Chains A and B, each alone.
Chain A
Amino acid sequence: MSAPVEQEYEALLQFMYMAPIGLVQTLADGEITMVNPLCAQLLMPLSPDGQLANLFTALEAVVPDLRQRVREFPDAYGTICDAQQVPISTGQAGRRQHQVLSLTLLKLDAERLMAVLSDVTQSVRRERELRQSQAWINTLAIGLSDYALVSLDHRGCVKGWNPSISRITGFSREQVEGRSLSMFYPADAMSDQRVLDRLHEADLTGWSLDEGWCSRADGGRYWGSCLIAPLHDSDDTPADELAYSLIIRDVSDRREAAEAMLKAVSCDHLTGLFNRRAFVEAAELEMQRWARSPRPLSLVMIDADHFKRINDQYGHVTGDGVLRHLAASMTATFRAMDVLGRFGGEEFIVLLPDTSVEGAELVAQRLCRLIEATPAAVGEHTVRYTVSAGVAAMDADATDFDALVQRADEALYAAKARGRNRVERWQAATQPAAVR
C-alpha cells in the first residue's frame, strides 16, 4: 500500500524545502512563480527592493545583462547560461561576506524559465588552490631547469652562501649575504614589508609560492617561480631564530603558458588588468596582512571623465580603445607590486601596499597628468580625454575593504564634483556621506 497522496505531497514539499540547491521557475519576463527556500536564502540579500517577485530584478546588481540574454536567446528551448560564476558581496557594513554563486538558467519553453543557483564559494577557492599546488608540483616533477637554494633568517635576509645562487641569479657571495631576498626581484616588486608578509604566510600554510618576474645581478629579467618554506618546526621557536629556505627556479620557458592561465582566470578581457573578482581576492589578502600588522595601505579609484560622450562621439570600439589606453597608462605609472583592476565600466581601481595616502595621491596625480598629455590613438581617431581619481588610506576606523572602497569612491565623487581631471583625497571631517 502506498502512502496517501497528501502524505506523499507533504514529503515531496519537504524534499524541496530541504534541497541544498536553489531552484526557481519564472515566466519569460522573470516573474517568479515557484521558488525553494535555499534560492530565497541566496537571493534575498541581493534583492534591491526586498522582494522576490522577479528573478531578473533580484539579480540585477550582479548579472545586469540577464534580461537581455533571455530576450536575445534564439532557441525555443535550451541553456541560456551554464554554471556561470557570479561573485557577490552581502552582509552589513563592517562584516561584508564575499561569495561566489553559480547560476544556470534554462529556457523551458516560450513562457517558462528555470534557474538553478548554488553557493560555490568553497569549491572555487579549493579549485584555485589546487591549481596553484598543481603548478608547483609540475615544476618539481617536470622542470629540468636549475634552481637556487637560499637560506633566509627571520627577516628574510640571506644567511648562507652556495654556488647555486650565483648560477641562477648571477649575484656573488658578497652581494647577497645579509641582504634581503627582495634583491632577487625587480626594484618595485617586493618591499621589506611584503617580504615579512610572505614569511608569515609560509609559517601559516607551510609554504608561500609565487611566480613572476625576477631580476639578475646584471639587471636582466627572468620568469621565476619562488617558494619559501619554513625550516623551523614549531611555533615555539623564538622570533629571531626563525629560519626559512627559498627556492628560486628560472621557469622562463613556461612564462607564456603561466601568464595565459593567470589571464584567463583573473583578468578583464578588454584591458588585461585584474577583473573585479581577482582584484577583491588580492585586496582581501592585503586586508588580512593589514589586520595582522597595520601599515600604510592606500586605494585609488579612477574614472574616465565624460566617457559616455566618448562612446557617443566615436562609437564603442573606440571607447574600448580608450579604456585599453587608460589601462596601459596605469600599468606604466603604478608599481609592479600595486594591484590594478577594472572595477566595472570605465571605473578602475588600484591598491597600493606600503603606501601612504600622500604617496598614493602623488602617483594618481602623475597618472592624471600623463593621460591629459597623451591622447589615445585608436584607429583613425586621436581621442583626448581626462580622468578623475579618489584616494583613500586604510586606518582603524575603516572596518573592512568595502569601507575603504567607499572612502575612495567618495573622494572620486568629490573630484568629479570639483571639475574633473583631478585627484581628491578622502577626508573624514569635511567629506559628507556621498549619495550617488
Chain B
Amino acid sequence: MNTEHHVSFADAAIFDFLERADDAELDGLDFGVIGMDDASHVTRYNRFESIAAGLSPDRVLGHALFTVVAPCMNNFMIAQRFEDAQQDGSALDDTIDYVLTLRMRPVKVKLRLLARPGSALRYVLVHRQT
C-alpha cells in the first residue's frame, strides 16, 4: 500500500502506521514525527520535523527530547502528560494547541501526543497551523 498520501495528522489509526513505517515512509509525511523511547531519548525524527527545526537527524537522534532537543515541551502541558501515562500504564492520545520555537520563531502548531502501554516508542506529532 502506498501510505504516504493517505496518512494524515488526525488519523485515528496512526499509531499502528507509526509502529510499522520505515524511515522513508515517515519522511514522506507532511507533518513532523518525533519518536522517543521509554527514557525519552529520540529514536525517530522525520524529514518534515528536521527541516522545520533546522536540525539534521544526527544532531537529535539518541538525545533526550525534553532537555536537549525540545526543552520547550518540558512542562506540565506536554512532558507531564507522557510521564503520567507512563506511570499509570495508560494510553495517551491528546491533541493540543501549542507554540514551538522553530528556528527561534514562535510557530503555532497542533501537537498530537501518543503513547500506549506495551509499545516501545512514544510519539509527538507536529502539525503547523496556518
By a beta-carbon cutoff of 8 Å, the part of chain A in contact with chain B is 9-10, 13-14, 16-18, 20, 32-42, 44-45, 47, 50-53, 90-92, 95, 97
Contact = CB atoms under 8 A, between A and B. Distances in A.
Given A37-B72, A52-B106, A53-B106, A44 B99 contact: yes
10 nearest A-B residue pairs (beta carbon): A37-B72, A40-B72, A52-B99, A52-B106, A37-B71, A34-B104, A41-B72, A91-B76, A40-B101, A38-B71
Contacts of A45: 75-77
A95 B53 CA distance: 32
Interface residues of B, number: 27
A280 B74 CA distance: 25
Interface string B60-88: 00000001111111111100100000000
Nearest to B67: A18
Interface in B83-128: 97-101, 103-106, 108
Contacts, number: 79
B71 A90 contact: no
B71 A10 contact: no
Given A41-B75, A52-B99, A97-B76, A10 B55 contact: yes
A366 B43 CA distance: 65
A10 B75 contact: no
12 contacts: A10-B56, A13-B54, A14-B55, A18-B68, A33-B105, A35-B105, A35-B106, A37-B72, A39-B72, A41-B72, A41-B73, A41-B75
B105 A34 contact: yes
A233 to B, nearest CB: 36
B64 to A, nearest CB: 10
B110 to A, nearest CB: 11
B59 interface: yes
Contacts of B103: 13
Given A37-B72, A41-B75, 9 more contacts: A10-B59, A17-B71, A37-B73, A37-B100, A38-B72, A40-B72, A40-B100, A41-B72, A90-B76
B101 A39 contact: yes
B56 to A, nearest CB: 7
Interface string B40-58: 0000000000000111100
Contacts of B56: 10
B77 A44 contact: yes
Which one of A20, A52, A92 has the highest number of Cβ atoms from chain B below 10 Å of its Cβ?
Answer: A52
